[in-house]
């Protein structure tokens, strides 16, 4: 199965995209710094449905931390929504 890493994955589009790809059986990892209000609720909703989704609390401006996640996940696709 393909894998996807979604930056901003706890945001509005991110959780819905993650839910969609996880429902298709994809390996899904999300990355978010949870800076937007309400994202912790979004994350809880998502992980309740799909506990296998990996969550990484990272700010995309931290280049080293971002590179570490990408190296660990090695996604076949990246969806960039963090903003």
| Beta-bridge partner residues of 77 | 4
32 binding ligand NAD? (CB under 6 A): yes
Site string for ligand NAD, 51-70 (x = CB under 6 A): --------xxx---------
Query: Is the Cβ–Cβ distance between 59 and 65 less than 8 Å?
Result: yes
3-state secondary structure at position 65: helix
83 binding ligand NAD? (CB under 6 A): yes
Residues near ligand NAD, by CB under 6 A:
8, 10-14, 32-36, 39, 59-61, 81-83
């Amino acid at each position: 199965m393909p894998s996807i890493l979604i930056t901003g994955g706890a945001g509005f589009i991110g959780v819905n995209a993650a839910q969609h790809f996880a429902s298709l059986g994809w390996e899904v990892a999300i990355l978010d710094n949870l800076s937007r209000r309400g994202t912790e609720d979004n994350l809880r909703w998502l992980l309740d449905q799909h506990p296998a989704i990996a969550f990484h609390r990272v700010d995309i401006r931290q280049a080293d931390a971002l590179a570490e996640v990408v190296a660990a996940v090695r996604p076949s696709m990246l969806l960039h929504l963090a903003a």
